[in-house]
Amino acid sequence: MSQFNFPRINFHGSVLLDVATANNGRFHPLSVYDQNSALPYFPPRVYLIKDKDIDQIEYVKEHWPQFPVITEGEKFYVEITPISNADIFIDWATHNLGTYDKDVEYLGLYKYAVLASYKITDESPNWIQPGYWNYFGDMSVFTEDVRITGVQLPNGTGVNTWTPGDTNGCPPVLSQMLGTSLSFHTDFFAENPRSSAVFCDVDSEGQTCTQLFYGKAGIYDDSNGQKRTFFNGKPCKSTFNWMTLSKVLNWMDPSLTPISGATYFYSTIDLTNTDEKSQNYIDPELQAIFDRYAGENVTALSMKISVHEVYEVHNPDYTKMPTKGIGNSRTKMPKNPARVAFSGSICPYVAGDMKTNTIARILKNPPEINIPIINTDNKIKVPPVKEGLQFVQNKLKLPDTVQLPPVFLHRDEKNNLISLDMINTIPEYGTDLGNPYPYGGDTSIPPFTKFENYDFGVLSLYFIPDGSTKPTLVGRINHNDDYNYEKFISIGGVFNFYRADIEALEKGSFYLSTPDGKKIVEEDKYLIVSDQQGSYAEQNQSLAEGYMSDGLPKGPVLIRAFKRGIPVKKEDNLQGWVQTINLAEGSVTEATIQIYDGMSFQYAVDKAGCIMYAFAATRSQLVASDLSEFLYFLSNGYFITSRVLEYSTKLQNLLAQPTIAFQDIYENVLVNYHTVLPIMAVILPFDEKTWSENWVLTRMCQMIDEKSWGGPMYMPVTRELSTQQRQLLQKWAKQIQSS
């Protein structure tokens, strides 16, 4: 509900995602990382298929007898034995498979096993690098240029929207914010600012839950020589929700996945203890207008972010990459961050709002209805693709149809408004091609410099009362006036319809239709969400200990359940299902469960790894047991992602010893950072001398303390440190410091 509150401060602009990409699991069956133990595979592995349809085992034994096939339970793999330590791994990770001097002899195996999974058999894997497209990323999220595009207030018969250059009647403090900057920098006014925000996945292999940790968020003005802070505060952790792959139409060719996608991040910015010298501050004028429209003392702000227009330079030449002056970079290592757009809104947080999700009614594109994309005027052009030294036209295809992600609807009885959040729902397409990046390799494409929203024509919102078959028109929007790109970002992707009869628009369902009367989204009665979408536990821990989701204190995973925007009570006796989805094994099991708002959900901690738990109030909300239409489920389903950190007998034995050696902490902890986050080794070499220095150990102990877990500087950024691994590092530090 938070994104529908007033005032609404809308923003849009460019952000650099400097994520590290080695452990993304992009090129399965090549595997470089054991997610359960959070350690790299030395040597890396190429997994083989053995099922009723294909048996790769015998073929590999016959054609490459020099490569032993190793059996592990029901899995089979070949080890890339020359890649035997971190230094070799780091070098190998930035080369195309089979071109590194130590893995040339494996080229035939790569072509057979790896390319077969992509259904390519007649070429070399000259576009696959184990480290993927940004091996030396530091996980930072750098707000490059994000501007306030519009501010909005209700006016009694609708909503006023003010934009830069159009401020007549706008309250002064809001008009002064137009065109200013939203930033996550630790010091926005510094000459070379640093970001306070980082990305990481709960499940890096399955990528079902990406997290955004922030140290600070604020709106600032540095124009005309002034330095003004409108507010800044500490946001809580965000996790992505409602992911779609149908946002950017020109990038929807399967070979470019997932850059056609978009997703929501919701966060709440804490403004308590505000003064100019503290972490948190708010301009008194801004505070007053927030309080006035919220009807209460506002101590936090809700921030909705849509991440879209995700441009990645694939298959890069690491020898030609830029090495400095990009975002957070302070090293000379090759940098290739993704450049994305952040669009969204900041609104007052009021009592009863969720912190990392929305309370609303939800309208979905039914899975059986595909929305046609018409391009007879050839407005939507696909980019050329690099092959060798040339860019080749017409290699990519536009989709004929798309599945749209959800629309969120809010009934605002105070202001007589029906509001639709469609920021991720309406597709867009690039219009102007920029220059190719000189270090992009085969399969890379040039960027777009401008975008426009797809024109569906007039979209009509209808309401059907319960017990009736006659729809009532709520309102209409059209591309020219309402959802062209410029207007769309100025309103934060939210459309408002004034309805004096709003009380009559409650008991029934909504749908949105195209000019020919076809429904494109229709209401799902039930919405099931959680503020603990991504959570962590220790293997075999007591369930009473609780889970880690946004730092200490640990606590329960609470499920929120709504029927048409109203909380489902326990006494409503809503019987539904919970599904356990193990993507590593490709398995889905289900059990019945009573669903109600505020219920505590406990998940099993007996096995290490990542598990999704899906919740459904109706059969139509379940994921298929064979995981077919899984991408539709990611966009429309109700689920949480959990990670259980491994308990190790080996580590327990090490902890029981009177002393430990540097090799013990390297092999069981630090090697993960060395290979997955190799940028770290540039600053702190992974040798005994460095990790025996007092200042390093003191800082390390601060950064691995659970008290730091919810902040961006926690080590590791990827949140993969188990209790035993933490204790091992602490034991090493105490051992060295005491001596």
List 434's β-bridge partners, or say none.
none
Spatial contact of 305 and 264, defined as CB atoms under 8 Å apart: yes
pLDDT at residue 267 above 90? yes
260 and 356 inside one domain = yes
Give the tens place of pLDDT for each residue, 108-122: 998 888 776 666 555
In a domain, 558, yes or no: yes
Q: Which two tokens stand for residue 523?
A: 């209401």
How much is the pLDDT for 4? 96
Kindly tell me if the per-residue pLDDT of 53 is higher than 80.
no
Residue 37: predicted pLDDT: 86
pLDDT in tens, 528-572: 999 999 999 999 999 899 999 999 999 999 999 999 999 999 999
Q: Averaged over 312-339, what is the pLDDT?
A: 92
> Do 35 and 68 reside in the same domain of the chain?
yes
Residue 273 lies in a domain: yes
Nearest Cα neighbor of 94 from 61, 136, 125, 122 is 136
Kindly tell me if the per-residue pLDDT of 13 is higher than 60.
Answer: yes
Whether residue 661 is predicted with pLDDT greater than 90 in this model: the reply is yes
Amino acid code (one letter) for 208 = T
Does the pLDDT at position 1 exceed 60? no
**Whole-number pLDDT of residue 2:** 81
**456 and 539 together in one domain:** no
Whether residue 638 sits in one domain with residue 620: yes
Is residue 129 situated within a structural domain?
no
526 dihedral zone (left: phi>0; alpha: psi -120 to 50; beta): beta
Q: How many CB atoms lie within 10 A of CB 319?
A: 8
Of 253, 272, 252, residue with least CA distance to 262:
252
CA–CA separation, 59 and 119 (whole Å): 17
Gap between the Cα atoms of 124 and 233, Å rounded: 51
316: preceding bond cis by omega (within 30 degrees): no
From CA 716, how far away is CA 153, in angstroms rounded? 42
- Lookup result for tokens 């390093």: 696
pLDDT band at 54 (very low <50, low <70, confident <90, very high): confident
- The verdict on whether omega for the bond into residue 7 sits within 30 degrees of 0, i.e. cis, is yes
Q: Quote the mean pLDDT of the chain.
A: 94
Contact criterion met (CB below 8 Å) for 202 and 187? no
- Kindly tell me if the per-residue pLDDT of 468 is higher than 80: yes
Tokens coding 121: 């058999």
Q: Are 423 and 485 in contact (CB under 8 A)?
A: no
Same domain, 266 and 389: yes
Between vectors from CA 659 to CA 658 and to CA 661, what angle results, nearest 5°? Answer: 155
Q: Report pLDDT for 124.
A: 60
- 374 with 504, same domain: the answer is yes
Task: Say whether pLDDT at 618 is over 90.
Answer: yes
Instruction: Report the residue count for the chain.
Output: 739
Listed residues 524, 547, 562: the one ending a domain: 524
Least confident segment among 202-206, 444-448, 504-508, 691-695: 202-206
- For residue 25, the model assigns a pLDDT of 67
Give yes or no: residues 167 and 113 share one domain: no
In terms of domains, do 482 and 531 share one?
Answer: no
217 in the same domain as 94: no
pLDDT at 278 over 60: no
Work out how many domains the chain is built from and give that number.
4
**Token representation of residue 579:** 């599904």
Q: Is the pLDDT of residue 275 over 70?
A: no
Query: Is the predicted pLDDT of residue 84 greater than 60, yes or no?
Result: yes
Q: What is the pLDDT of residue 118?
A: 61
Whether residues 252 and 392 share a domain: the answer is yes
From 9-23, 323-337, 577-591, the region with the lowest mean pLDDT: 323-337
Domain boundary (585, 610, 645) is at 645
Parent domain of 584? 527-645
Q: Is residue 127 part of a domain?
A: no
Last residue of a domain, one of 460, 495, 524: 524
Does residue 131 lie in a domain region? no
Binned at pLDDT 50, 70 and 90, residue 126 comes out as low
Q: Which helix (H) or strand (E) holds 662?
A: helix 662-665
CATH no. for residue 620?
A: 2.60.40
Region of 508 (left: φ > 0; alpha: ψ -120 to 50; beta: rest) is left
Separation of alpha carbons 516 and 498, rounded Å: 24
> Quick check: 276 pLDDT over 60?
no
Average pLDDT on 509-517 reads 95
Average pLDDT on 162-175 reads: 97
| pLDDT on residue 677 | 92
The verdict on residue 128 lying in a domain is: no
Residues 6+ apart with CB under 8 A from 114: 27, 29, 30, 46, 97, 125, 128
At 38 the pLDDT is: 85
Tell me how far apart the alpha carbons of residues 293 and 291 are, in angstroms, rounded to a whole number. Answer: 6
Please tell me whether residues 10 and 89 are part of one structural domain. Answer: no
Report which of 287, 256, 519 is spatially closest to residue 395, judged by C-alpha positions. Answer: 256
pLDDT band at 206 (very low <50, low <70, confident <90, very high): confident
Residue 635 pLDDT class (50, 70, 90 cuts): very high
Same domain for 465 and 564, yes or no, is: no
Centre a 10 Å sphere on the Cβ of residue 565 and count the other Cβ atoms it contains: 16
125 located within any domain? no
Rounded Cα–Cα distance for residues 302 and 4 (Å): 10
232 pLDDT higher than 90: yes
Residue 307 counted as domain residue: yes
- The confidence band for 473, taking pLDDT boundaries of 50, 70 and 90, is very high
pLDDT in tens, 680-719: 999 899 999 999 999 999 999 999 999 999 999 999 899 9
Q: How confident is the model at residue 123 (pLDDT cuts 50, 70, 90)?
A: low
